[in-house]
Amino acid sequence: MRVVFLGAPGVGKGTQAERIAVQYRVAKISTGDLLREAVRMRTALGLEAKSFMDQGKLVPDAVVIGLVQEKLADLSCAAGFVLDGFPRTVSQAEELGKALASKAMALDRVVNFQVSREDVVRRLSGRRSCPKCQATFHVDFAKPKADGVCDRCGESLVQRSDDQRGAIETRLKVYDEQTAPLVRYYDDRKLLSPVDASGAVDVVFQHLSQVLAPYQMR
């Protein structure tokens, strides 16, 4: 299974990627998580990425493409992968195509997660994240068991700097300008499957499983 999850920030790609990775035993490659980890570890790459991320802007293509190539080279991707948050520009999509072709691989499917803009803003502004294990919660829809504490690892939850109002607006604008053209790009290549992602996590997972069922055994 080699799939890309496409959609605006806040549509639930990360949550579903996590579940698909567990269910189908494929690698989840989330560029947002990889970049946040680099920032947390204060690596050179993390320091370069931080100011772009805090403002809700895209990290330069070369940085992100390098990260993904490294992960794809990793053996754990052999059984398949789900890419969450990558590609986000046409040039990233082209580089991904080249990297896969060089390994005689191709994408099976690109899932386009669809949620209204209003819901996306509500989901992002109420999101609380664990800086340690990256688990996410929501102040109304997915409350942690203890207020402000990660259910999974006990760390204090935070609001990501890019989940604050100003950064949300920038991220949605960046999505419209730089990422939305990928819908057409992958539709032209007959790879796109839309999924209504407005419902509860379990409901969306069911839709998604139907779309991905043909690709689970290779």
Q: Would you say the C-alpha torsion 57, 63, 69, 72 has a positive or negative sign? A: negative
**Contact pattern from residue 137 through residue 176 relative to ligand AMP, giving x for each residue in contact according to CB under 6 A and a dash for the rest:** -------------------------x--------x-----
- Say which of 50, 88, 109, 128 is annotated catalytic: 88
The piece of 81-89, 114-122, 143-151, 180-188 that touches ligand AMP (CB under 6 A) is 81-89
For residues 46 and 62, what is the distance between their CA atoms, to the nearest angstrom?
A: 14
Closest to ligand AMP by CB, 85 or 144:
85
**31 is a site residue for ligand AMP (CB under 6 A):** yes
Least distance CB 62 / ligand AMP (angstroms): 10
**35 is a site residue for ligand AMP (CB under 6 A):** yes
**56 is a site residue for ligand AMP (CB under 6 A):** yes
Q: Among 41, 85, 96, 40, which residue's Cα sits nearest to residue 59?
A: 85
Closest to ligand AMP by CB, 1 or 67:
67
Residue 197 phi, psi (nearest 5): -105, 25
Please write down the HEC assignment for all residues of 84-153. ECCCCCHHHHHHHHHHHHCCCCCCCEEEEEECCHHHHHHHHHCEEECCCCCCEEECCCECCCCCCECCCC
Binding site for ligand AMP (CB under 6 A): 9, 31-32, 35, 52-53, 56-59, 64, 85-86, 88, 92, 162, 171
